[in-house]
Structure 1
Amino acid sequence: MVSPHGIKLAVYLISSYFGELNAKVCDCLLRRGTQTLHQVVSSTELSRKNVKNCLLVLIHHNCVQAFAIRQPGGFGEEAKIITQYMALFDNIIHKLRFPKFIEIVSEELGKECEEILEWLLQHGRLSLSQIIVKYKQASKQVGMTCHFPGDSSADAAQDSFNRLVNARFVERCPAPDPLLEPPAEEETAAKKRGAKSAKIQAQTMEQQALAAAAPMESMRFLVENIWNDSVEKADKRTTDVKCGMKRKQEDLESNTKDPATGEKEVLWRANFEEFIRRLRHKACVANVKVRVNNDAAIVLAATLELSRHSETKLRIDNSVPQSINAIYDEVIKREGGLGMDLERIRASLDDLGCEAPLMEIDETYSVDLKNIIEQARIEEVESIVLKRYGREAYRMFRLLSKADRLVETDKISDTTFVEKKDAVKILFKLWKDDYLEMKKVIARAPKQSEFILWKINKQSLWEHILDEMYHAALNLRLRTTHEKEQEKEILQMPKDKLVGELGNKYMRLRKVCIVLESSLMNLDDSLMLFHDF
């Protein structure tokens, strides 16, 4: 379930990228859940043609997934196939992280691969022939921002694209509308028993649709069999479209086909899962470096590098077990790890909470990533409490966080050295703002008295903090847009005209935008910590 401010942020992002009509359709899907075309038309009061075009754009940019459901007909009637649409909230929010994704590729694979990724992020999905055409156009442009060494051949494009696929930064697109069979009889009976069962079934159906749409793992990163055909198709394509130009919406439906043969081409997109995995690992290493020590961070980074390709899902609780020798070989390759011996590595693994194996014959270690993420979340919330409510509130919140149970007011006051009167005020303030849960207990013997107990419900608190962060991110985006709108005349002027007072205004706007955008990037790190990691 997406929080209210999460929906507002997602809708604003869609509005910024694709306009108000697409935002209206997206808002409908996020608020009402999975819908048919008829339901979206009815809810948005847009024309059927406009809704279809909006859904087409959103699907092409990986913000909506369509899927078909086979529903049994009545007596003597054939089964009906109904297409439904669901918004992909995570993919929409990932648009905030495009600069981070580009930075990862630039640092690891270089500028040529960075340009190809930018095209995929800009256009949502592209075929290989389209990528080759863009590569050739970019290499020929004069004064371009693309960073190519001058080789515009298909071989150069193939090399850059293959490196992206081998690193799993790019993947094949999912099926456009997978067909789901009707649920089994027992599932249908459970759905009829109540609204709660129906809700669970709806969520399961969406998960089934995503699983059915995903390409087979053996095909997900397969390029070899289609590269030669794509080169031939690229040569036949017209090159009227300039590098970086947006394609028209009416062309989106036909660009999956080769114009010469009419055959469908394989489409590719950025693999958000791999980028989030890299950022998750990076966040874990950064947290350990601050909370434990630098040696532990080096060992953790080496362990995660070894286990990354073996991870079957994004949010794994523990890293894939690795032998001590493999960890050592990876550690000495890293900066600061050359001087580490096996004993120091074992000590660092112990600092990371890894249990020593009972037998040295098979000395393998696995790191508890779930605990690292949990500690990082707690530290993030504690810092918020410290800034917002003061040091006394921070001490009380930290006590409750470590206790992880109901604690009586007097106990909190005595342990944190805060006057009971002040402690009660602070605790009620935290409770009012949904940071704590309160429970009243009445003791009847020997005389009736009332005790107030306090506790942190981490799951509900994480959701509350996440919604606050969505709200803050939305405000930062709105403020950035407002600042640019206020000075839009200056932004439209040639740079050689920006002198004197105009130059000062431009520099002020530039500094403000840098501060706002960097604040949003830092806030997004916390957003990922509570939502994606």
Structure 2
Amino acid sequence: MGKECEEIFEGLLQHGRLSLTEIIERYKEASKQGDSSADAARDSFNSLVNARFVERCPAPDPLLEPPAAEETAAKKRGAKSAKIQAQTMEQQALAAAAPMESMRFLVEDIWNDSVERADKRTTDVKCGMKRKQGDLESNTKDSATGEKEVLWRANFEEFIRRLRHKACVANVKVRVNNDAAIVLAATLELSRQSETKLRIDNSVPQSINAIYDEVIKREGGLGMDLERIRASLDDLGCEAPLMEIDETYSVDLKNIIEQARIEEVESIVLKRYGREAYRMFRLLSKADRLVETDKISDTTFVEKKDAVKILFKLWKDDYLEMKKVIARAAKQSEFILWKINKQSLWEHILDEMYHAALNLRLRITHEKEQEKEILQMPKDKLVGELGNKYMRLRKVCIVLESSLMNLDDSLMLFHDF
């Protein structure tokens, strides 16, 4: 979006929240172009707001309704009920503070006018014009009121939404094909502005003509006709509409994210427990139901003795759920059934990833602490053995930091998407 937008967004990240006046004044100082850069700052700010990367701040003091009598009684039932009530109150406060969707990204002309008046007052003072004390107080009051009314912040929700869309497209490109990825990217681009919450299960329905117009704008999509687009939508799991008059399609994003999570866990199982465990875990993930031990052993071509050991290992490490069933007949028999509980598995994997991220952070800190004397030395003195130690530390840090970045992507998949 340009260097100007980057400069404005950097200021919002550093300060948290700024008024439009403060944003423009900060941009003037950074660009060193004075008042002539104000219009460029406003245009860049408007571009960020239109792209939804910047939003109005929520109300500082949201008005909450007093709790009802039954809610107060529920609060006294125990610690668990109190915890649920506290979470509910927090959600209520966030909802009450959030501006209406119609106002969240609205930039009014009056704010620009107040900035122009502030610029004019600054110019007048610099020119040596005398002012009455009442005028100065009025200007100060107007400025304070403007800053109170207009505060802006970075909209992290929009970044997470775009990263979620990007992750869905990347997964489809590998798992399905490139055509499906192009169609999905086009569909998500059309529905992004209409999404009312972050984790939507299905994309906003779009007409086939709108999807086609967006697809041909993309790299690799110019040669795609309506039949290829419909075939790709079918590959994405979209059902064909019953009436051709209203031919709209919606993509199941929840299923794509779930498939990406399953693939991530399957890769962990493969590396940690081996290929036989990977085959059994994959069978259970596709079955999505309780499966008996013998069935697992026969389907995956693993000896029952080895299969039982592997399944118990996965169960012990919280990757599987186990259920024992006793059949009462002429001869009493016990069957062991296995299943993947995806919700508890996601929580377990997320917890493991948090621990892994912490361990990587600690390892990086330890490596730098061990060689802190070398890091403090001038580079021209890092020769011979010292140079070798420095290069070793540099390579180790690059590997560890790269692993941490890859882990961040996986954390977002399970925590934010």
Same-fold call, TM > 0.5? Answer: yes
Q: Distance in 1 between matches of 2:329 and 2:125?
A: 84
The answer to whether the 8 Å contact 2:118/2:143 transfers is no
Cα deviations by residue, 1:406-448 (Å, 9 ceiling, x for unpaired): 1111111111111111111101110110001111122221112
Q: 8 Å contact 1:273–1:314 — kept in the other structure?
A: yes
- 1:455 CA drift (Å): 1.0
Higher helix share: 2
Query: Alpha-carbon deviation of 1:248?
Result: 33
Closer, same or farther in 2 for the Cα pair 1:464/1:515, shift >3 Å? same
* Alignment size in residue pairs: 417
Tell me, in whole angstroms, the C-alpha distance in 1 between the residues paired with 2:377 and 2:134.
Answer: 33
Contact 2:322–2:339 at 8 Å: present in 1 too? yes
| 8 A Cα contact 1:256 1:266, kept in partner | no
- Specify whether residues 266 and 483 from structure 1 end up closer, same or farther in structure 2 by C-alpha distance, changes over 3 A only: farther
The whole-number CA distance in structure 2 between the counterparts of 1:422 and 1:320 is 47
CA distance in 2, matches of 1:461, 1:376: 14
Counterpart contact for 1:258–1:265, Cα < 8 Å? no
| Aligned residue number for residue 387 of structure 2 | 503
Q: Distance in 2 between matches of 1:243 and 1:510?
A: 55
Using the size of structure 2 for normalisation, the TM-score is 0.89
Deviation at 1:214, TM superposition (A): 1.2
1:203 to 87, 97, 103: 87
1:137–1:242 contact (8 Å) kept in structure 2 = no
Shift of 1:181: 2.4
- Going from structure 1 to structure 2, the CA distance change for 1:228 and 1:359 (only over 3 Å counts) comes to closer
Q: Report the counterpart of residue 483 of structure 1 in structure 2.
A: 367
The 5 Å alignment of 1:141-290 reads 153-225=37-109, 227-228=111-112, 231=115, 264=148, 266-290=150-174
Alignment of 1:96-495 (within 5 A): 109-140=1-32, 153-225=37-109, 227-228=111-112, 231=115, 264=148, 266-493=150-377, 495=379
CA distance, structure 2, for counterparts of residue 187 and residue 309 of structure 1:
37
Structure 1 pair 450–260 and aligned structure 2 pair: CA distance change class (3 A): closer
Structure 2 vs 1, CA of residues 414 and 532 (structure 1 numbering), >3 Å: closer, same or farther? Answer: same
State how far apart, in whole Å, the 2-side matches of 1:243 and 1:367 are.
Answer: 61
CA contact (8 A) 1:127 1:256 kept: no
Is the CA contact (8 Å cut-off) linking 2:31 and 2:37 kept in structure 1? Answer: no
How many Å separate the matches in 2 of 1:331 and 1:496?
54
Q: How far 1:137 sits from its partner (Å)?
A: 2.4
| Whole-angstrom distance in 2 between the partners of 1:492 and 1:246 | 55
- Give the superposed CA RMSD: 5.7
Q: CA deviation at 1:394?
A: 0.4
Contact 1:476–1:516 at 8 Å: present in 2 too? yes
- The answer as to whether partners of 1:385 and 1:393 remain within 8 angstroms in 2 is yes
Distance 1:498 1:367, change over 3 A: same
C-alpha displacement at 1:484, in angstroms? 3.1
Worse overlay, 484-493 or 318-327: 484-493
Question: Residue deviations 1:440-493, cap 9 Å, x none?
Answer: 122221112221111111111110001111111122222223333334444445
Q: State the TM-score, normalizing by the size of structure 1.
A: 0.70
Instruction: Identify if the C-alpha distance between structure 1 residues 136 and 263 changes in structure 2 by more than 3 Å, giving closer, same or farther.
Output: closer
User: What SS does structure 2 have at the residue aligned with 1:253?
Assistant: helix
CA spacing shift, 1:347–1:255, aligned 2, 3 Å: farther
Q: CA deviation at 1:231?
A: 3.3
Question: Which structure: larger Rg?
Answer: 2
1:130 positional shift: 2.6
Shift of 1:202: 2.0
Answer yes or no: is the 8 Å Cα contact 2:291–2:339 preserved in 1.
yes
Q: Per-residue deviation at 1:286?
A: 0.4
Distance 1:241 1:384 in 2: 66
**Contact persistence 2:114–2:146 (CA under 8 A):** no
The answer on whether the counterparts of 2:238 and 2:250 sit within 8 Å (CA) in structure 1 is yes
Cα deviation, 1:236-266, whole Å, max 9, x if unaligned, reads 9999999999999999999999988896363
Deviation at 1:269, TM superposition (A): 1.3
| Contact 1:410–1:420 (Cα < 8 Å) also in 2 | yes
Structure 1, unpaired ranges of 5+: 1-108, 142-149
Whole-Å separation in 2 of the counterparts to 1:480 and 1:351: 44
In structure 2, stretches of 5+ residues that fail to align are none
Q: Deviations over 1:28-78 (max 9, x none)?
A: xxxxxxxxxxxxxxxxxxxxxxxxxxxxxxxxxxxxxxxxxxxxxxxxxxx
Indicate conservation of the 8 Å contact 1:173/1:269, yes or no: yes
Summarize the Cα distance change of 1:239–1:168 in structure 2 as closer, same or farther, 3 Å threshold.
farther
Mapped to 2, the partners of 1:235 and 1:456 lie a distance apart of 63
Q: Percent identity?
A: 96
Whether contact under 8 Å (1:399, 1:412) holds in the other structure is: yes
1:188 CA drift (Å): 2.4
8 Å Cα contact 1:353-1:367 kept in structure 2: yes
Q: 1:370 to 1:345 in 2, by over 3 A?
A: same
Contact 2:21 2:147 in 1 (8 A): no
For residues 488 and 115 of structure 1, the distance between their equivalents in structure 2, rounded to whole angstroms, comes to 33
Note the alpha carbon deviations across 1:177-221, whole angstroms, 9 max, x for none.
323221122322333445444333222111101111112223222
Give the 3 Å change call, closer, same or farther, for CA 505–191 of structure 1 in structure 2.
same
Correspondence for 1:51: none
Deviation at 1:519, TM superposition (A): 1.7
The change in CA–CA distance for 1:479 and 1:324 in structure 2 (over 3 A counts) is same
Contact 1:139 1:152 in 2 (8 A): no
Distance in 1, Cα, partners of 2:179 & 2:392: 42
